[in-house]
Copies of this chain bind each other. A is one copy, B any other.
Amino acid sequence: MTIASKPPVTMKDVATAAGVHYSTVSRALNPATRDLVKPQIAARILQTARELGYRTNSLASSLRTKRSRVVGVVVPDIASLLFPPILEGIEHALLKEGYMTIVGNSANDPERHRRVLTGMMERQVDGLILASTTLNDPIPDEWFENRAPIVLMNRTDESGRAPAVVNDDMRGIGLAVRHLVDLGHKRIIHVAGPNFLSTGAVRQRAFKLACSELSVPLNRHSIVEATSFTREAGKIACIEALAKNPQTTAIVAANDLIALGCYDALAEKKLSCPEDISITGYNDSPFVDLVRPPLTSVRVDQREMGLEAARILLARMGGHHAGADILLRPEFVLRQSTTPPRTPSH
């Protein structure tokens, strides 16, 4: 049994109550046009609107103005540690400007991703922030030609079709490798993220580059790719990597979850961190300072990433062709999962 609630009060209701035409109500209620109506009448309208409990119907308004004041945000996994702070940043920046956000979870499933995107477009979002782009299954061009501007975040599709807000992983991974080299490590491997994600791919490239610049020997087994950015996949990849590189003294993990997976792998192999093997994470996720040993990581400011993406999107939605990509600068965070190698190779 649903209670048959009375129909919502519309501008027409307010108009008749205030004894004016409803178009006048519209103008009085909208701060931008309020000065077109005589102040005293405007006041009366505002008053009766309040009394009747009038609340504007965005659907109607959006239909007419072609602006929904809603933006869509798609993340590959809401429940991961990485995205909540990003979402918080986005929501914060957008709400201030009167936008609300529909959030969708692509769950790393292309079909679901498609459904989420169409759902958002049908709902006439004014803009889109995508943290879910993959390199192997790119967003069709048509989306980029749409009414709604798109901003990529965290990951990029490297096509240049949309501005991206990403971290300077080249630098970030460089910091980690340099740190390990400074400690005296020579036998460093990389437990990488999936190659079909820009984050995975870039960090692999960064690892190779840093190694060659710092004269760390590299072979074709030095990089082992985890199938996803998860603790479980990290563990599996780490075990494989250690089997292939028995003399490893340090591991650069592609992100914190993978690093925690490496912890699990070491525990299983009865190796200790950092005494036997040093490990660096990436992202400096919440609570990695509480694990044992506290994880040395590379901090990226997730909230800032969200804020920045929102800012760019706002600019685009405002019709400004806001410039290029944004590269956020990461920061090294030293904790206790790294130490000089047991048998320095000199």
Contacts and interface: CB of A to CB of B under 8 A. Distances in A.
Contacts of A286: 81
A163 interface: no
Interface stretch (A30-38, A57-65, A272-280): A57-65
A180 to B, nearest CB: 22
Contacts of A120: 100
A332 to B, nearest CB: 22
B79 A84 contact: yes
Contacts of A81: 286-287
A263 interface: yes
Contact of A119 (B100, B116, B303): B100
Interface in A132-191: 142, 145-147
A77 B286 CA distance: 14
Interface stretch (A102-110, A210-218, A245-253): A102-110
Nearest to A321: B1
Contacts of A87: 78-79, 103, 105
A199 interface: no
A249 to B, nearest CB: 23
Contact of A290 (B77, B98, B292): B292
B103 A70 contact: no
A2 interface: yes
A291 B69 CA distance: 42
Contacts of A335: none
A56 interface: yes
A101 interface: yes
Contacts of A3: 145
Interface stretch (A12-20, A40-48, A121-129): A121-129
A23 interface: no
A214 B81 CA distance: 38
A95 interface: yes
Interface in A62-90: 62-63, 68-70, 77-81, 83-85, 87-88
A268 B282 CA distance: 28
Contacts of A98: 119
Contact of A145 (B5, B70, B102, B287): B5
Interface of A: 1-3, 5, 8, 53, 55-60, 62-63, 68-70, 77-81, 83-85, 87-88, 91-92, 95, 98, 100-105, 107, 112, 115-116, 118-124, 142, 145-147, 260, 263, 286-287, 290-292, 303, 319, 321
4 smallest CB-CB distances across A and B, nearest first, come from A292-B292, A290-B291, A79-B84, A79-B88
